[in-house]
């Protein structure tokens, strides 16, 4: 295909599996590949965005970084869905919790993604699009969490364009029952909807907006393995 390799992924057609598990930090993708995959082969290193393909329980799967924020994940998931034949993308990321029902290490399965981004304007819709997860993936993730005895909640997240906000808005989202904030889910869900593909976001609570609890970058990279196990169970 003329579009391959893309400007951001230097893989050949066939080197990426139909299911890709993605993380913001490319080193988390590397950790997943080395920890969970059999015979992982690196297919991308452009801009340091590492990607690997291997097998998990005999099934072919790829893992890859997607960077920080909606513009970054928007680019990588568009190319994967539209140029590499990827059918399913599952993001495993970190999130800041908005509810005291969640604690560090708990999981959020994003049923929907609110956003303060203008990403959806490109589709020219005569209203507001509600980005949602694929139901079968969502149900499967919740079932796996139950079987593993994990603490988790299913609901809305906020995909924000702003990390260092000048005007705090978290209390407004809390009032609407939003579980936590991250920076990518809405774009992934919109790209999946437009391409007719499947997507899910599973986040580990890495910090708490209410209590002030935090984790280190090393913990976020190497100890958030429960969400990886849940994602891999869906392959």
| 216 contacts 119 by C-beta, under 8 angstroms | no
9-37 in b/e form (b: 16+ CB < 10 A) is: bbbeeebbbebbbbbbbbbbbbbbbeebb
User: Catalytic residue numbers?
Assistant: 207
Q: 185-195 and 70-83 helices cross at what angle (nearest 10)?
A: 20
- 3-class DSSP assignment, residue 164: coil
**Termini Cα distance of the chain:** 26
């Amino acid at each position: 295909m003329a579009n391959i390799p893309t400007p951001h992924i230097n893989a050949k057609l066939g080197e990426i599996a139909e299911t890709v598990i993605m993380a913001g930090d490319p080193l988390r993708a590397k950790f997943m590949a080395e920890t969970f995959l059999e015979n992982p082969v690196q297919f991308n290193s452009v801009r340091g965005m590492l990607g690997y393909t291997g097998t998990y329980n005999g099934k072919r799967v790829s893992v890859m970084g997607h960077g920080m924020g909606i513009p970054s994940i928007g680019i990588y998931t568009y190319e994967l869905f539209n140029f590499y034949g990827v059918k399913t993308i599952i993001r495993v990321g970190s999130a800041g919790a908005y509810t005291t029902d969640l604690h560090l290490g708990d999981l959020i399965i994003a049923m929907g993604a609110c956003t303060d981004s203008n990403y959806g304007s490109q589709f020219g819709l005569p209203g507001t699009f509600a980005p949602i997860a694929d139901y079968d993936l969502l149900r499967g993730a919740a079932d796996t969490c139950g079987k593993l005895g994990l603490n988790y909640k299913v609901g809305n997240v906020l995909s924000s364009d702003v990390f260092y906000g000048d005007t705090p808005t978290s209390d407004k989202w809390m009032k609407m029952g939003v579980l936590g904030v991250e920076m990518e889910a809405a774009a992934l869900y919109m790209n999946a909807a437009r391409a007719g593909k499947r997507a899910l976001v599973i986040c580990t609570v890495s910090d708490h907006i209410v209590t002030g609890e935090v984790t280190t970058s090393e913990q976020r990279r190497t100890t958030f393995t429960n969400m990886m196990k849940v994602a891999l169970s869906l392959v």
